[in-house]
Amino acid sequence: MVLILRYLRAYRRSFLLGLVCLVATNALTLLIPWLLKEAIDAIETLTGAAAARRVAQYAVAISAVAMVLAVVRTGSRWFILGTSRRVVADLRERLFAHMQTLPASFYARHRTGDLMSRAVNDLLLIRSLFGPGVLNVVNLALLYTAGLAMIAALDPMLTLAAVLPYPFLLLAVGRVSQTIHRRSNAAQEQLAEISNKAQENLTGINQVKAYVREEAEIEAFGLLSAEYRRRNLSLARARGLIVTLMGGLGGVSTIIVLFLGGWHVREGLLTKGGFLAFMSYLAILTGPTIMMGWVLGVMQRGLGAIRRVEEILGAASDLPGDRVEDPAPDLEGAVRFRGLTFAFPGGPPVLRDIYLEVPAGSVVGVVGRVGSGKSALVQLLGAVHPVPPGTLLLDGRDINTLPTSGLRAQVAMVPQETFLYSRSIAENISLGRPDAPRDRIEEVARTAQLTRDLDQFPQGLDTRVGERGMTLSGGQRQRVALARALMMDPKILVLDDALSSVDADTEEAILGALRTYLKDRTTFLVSHRVSTVLSADRVIVLDGGRMAESGSVGELLAHNGLFARMHRQQQIERELEAL
């Protein structure tokens, strides 16, 4: 309801103009039967030329009212239906902007397909709520209020008889509408399942084909689709029951009016013109009554959609830095972990009691077995997840006291699994600096050794890559991501196994080109390959989320611990590969 009131207030001028047009529309609609009544009564009471003149006058009046009615009815739809589209456009932009502010923990709890369903399908239902829903609800209220007053003025007793079935109908409609609400929510949730399944299959289409899963995936999608059809049919039956009830009411009221109204005309309690007007008013009320079932369905589905969208809009970031409004200071790059223990939401700790001090401008190597916590450690530098207060300091300041956006502008991360947009290579490189000059783009591309492969790109750096960069090799995608990070000119650079997909020669060339670039920057080299961190000023070894070893490369090799064993093992593997 909060969302409904928000947009009714925001667009109150358009909705009020639509309301004025609806009032005029209903007034003119109800005026026509009254004019028809007067015309019939004139025929009954007048004769000859006088009757003809009076009927002609009423005919002209009815025609004029009908033409004005057409214009005013169009205006009501223009204001209300047009405003509903502006409401949804505003809500869509607001929803997208809010989703950009939500942290990684939110997306870990929600599936992409479900979010897509809410951002697309649910917004269409909300548009129907603010458009046809509001239009018909207001129209029904006005029409019933004025229409019942008009027929009561014609014949109070006949009016009472005509509306006698209504209390029983409203009771039945109230119970059926609850069923519609439940079944509507169930249908929308199933549609989210279908969207999620489609998104997963399209994203992982290469895996589907590689493991010959086409038939199995088609069958699984068919089961989801069949369930969606079943839930929609169940919803349609409930909505159809209301339409049947409403239609039955109209028939019962018509039969009552025909018998009782005919008797009133015969007894002189109602004129023939009045009886015709009464039947016309009843017909006018019967149409909206039958539509009430559809309107209730629109309202219930729209309210369910609003609830699902409000769940996203009500989600807040759990990052303390998102609530800091002060501008971010220019970092020097000193990093200090002080007894850091970290766990992902709902999981066990992945880092335990980490103590580490990194001077500004130094290069730190982070190695360890798979699952040792390497990626989790360096991700915290970019404020991807919240950390306990006082356990991670940048330039002596608690990371929780630094504004997230200002911090991330100075911390660049290159993950192992890169993501590229379906744009040109140059546009992907300049993502964080869209106004960067061409020579700067080419410079970072050379540093990342991307220019080695320019002959493979039809338009050089202007070559458009496929969705998620799938037209590039894994190594090429990593180098584009590296160039993109270098373009940010960060104070802290994190390479999280960012060279795992390039060969040893290319890796050595990249690290050589980076030595000058990294001179004034704090750099974290995360790798499962010991050779990557041999040039680091300091190396830390993680094991089971704890810092098992720390020191220079020479010290760790001399210590003959986990790092030395990894080094020997990888040397043997390289020698065997060379045979």
Express each pLDDT in 49-63 by its tens digit.
777 788 788 888 889
* Whole-angstrom distance, CA of residue 485 vs CA of residue 518: 12
Confidence of residue 20 (pLDDT cuts 50, 70, 90): very high
Q: Find the mean pLDDT for residues 24-45.
A: 83
Mean pLDDT of the chain: 82
The pLDDT tens digits for 300-345 are 788 888 888 888 888 887 777 777 777 777 888 889 999 999 988 7
Q: How confident is the model at residue 290 (pLDDT cuts 50, 70, 90)?
A: low
Task: Over range 530-557, report the average pLDDT.
Answer: 86
Over residues 95-117, the mean pLDDT reads: 82
* Helices 504-517, 438-447: inter-axial angle, 10-degree rounding: 130
Where does the pLDDT of residue 489 fall: very low under 50, low under 70, confident under 90, or very high at 90 and above?
A: confident
Q: What residues contact residue 286 under an 8 Å CB cut-off, 6+ apart?
A: 250, 253, 254
Return the higher-pLDDT residue of 105 and 73: 73
Q: Which residue has the higher pLDDT, 331 or 351?
A: 351
The residue-averaged pLDDT of 477-505 equals 81
Mean pLDDT on 453-477: 78
Question: Taking the CB of residue 208, how many other CB atoms lie within 10 A of it?
Answer: 17
| 174 confidence band (pLDDT: 50, 70, 90) | low
Number of continuous H segments (helices) and E segments (strands) in the chain: 19, 10
Q: Kindly provide the b/e burial profile for residues 303-333, where b requires at least 16 CB atoms within 10 angstroms of the residue's own CB.
A: bbbbebbeebeebebebbbbebeeebeebbb
Q: Between 23 and 239, whose confidence is greater?
A: 23
Q: Residue 117 above 70 pLDDT?
A: yes
H helices of 493-545, where? 504-517
Per-residue pLDDT, 577 = 63
Q: What is the pLDDT of residues 245-255, one digit of tens each?
A: 766 766 777 78
Average pLDDT of the segment spanning 144-165: 82
Rounded average pLDDT over 343-349: 82
Phi, psi of 205 (to 5 degrees): -60, -35
The tens digit of pLDDT for each residue in 368-406 reads: 888 888 888 888 888 888 888 989 999 888 888 888 888
This model's pTM is above 0.95: no
Please spell the DSSP secondary structure of 286-337, one letter per residue. Answer: HHHHHHHHHHHHHHHHHHHHHHHHHHHHT-----GGGG--SPPPPP---EEE
What pLDDT score was predicted for residue 71?
Answer: 92
Distance CA 37, CA 34 (A): 5
Provide the b/e sequence for 31-40 (b: ≥16 CB within 10 Å): bbbbbbbbbb
pLDDT band at 68 (very low <50, low <70, confident <90, very high): very high
What's the token pair of residue 164? 């006698």
pLDDT in tens, 507-519: 777 777 777 777 7
Positive/negative CA dihedral, 515, 517, 520, 526: negative
H helix or E strand, kind and range, residue 235:
helix 214-266
For the stretch 442-471, what's the b/e string if a residue is b when 16 or more beta carbons lie within 10 angstroms of its beta carbon?
bbbbebbbbeebeeebeeebeebbeeebee
pLDDT of residue 578: 60
pLDDT at residue 579, rounded to an integer: 60
Tens digit of each residue's pLDDT (9 = 90 or more) over 225-236? 888 898 888 888
Q: What is the pLDDT of residue 374?
A: 87
Q: DSSP per residue over 433-448, as a string?
A: -TT--HHHHHHHHHHT
Eight-class DSSP state of 491: S
Sorted by where each starts, the structural domains of the chain and their CATH numbers stand as 2-313 (1.20.1560.10), 332-410+521-579 (3.40.50.300)
What confidence score (pLDDT) does residue 338 get?
92
Answer whether residue 176 shows pLDDT above 80. Answer: no
Distance CA 27, CA 21 (A): 10
Mean of pLDDT values over 564-575 = 79
Mean pLDDT of 5-34: 87
Is the CA virtual torsion 419, 421, 422, 425 positive or negative? negative
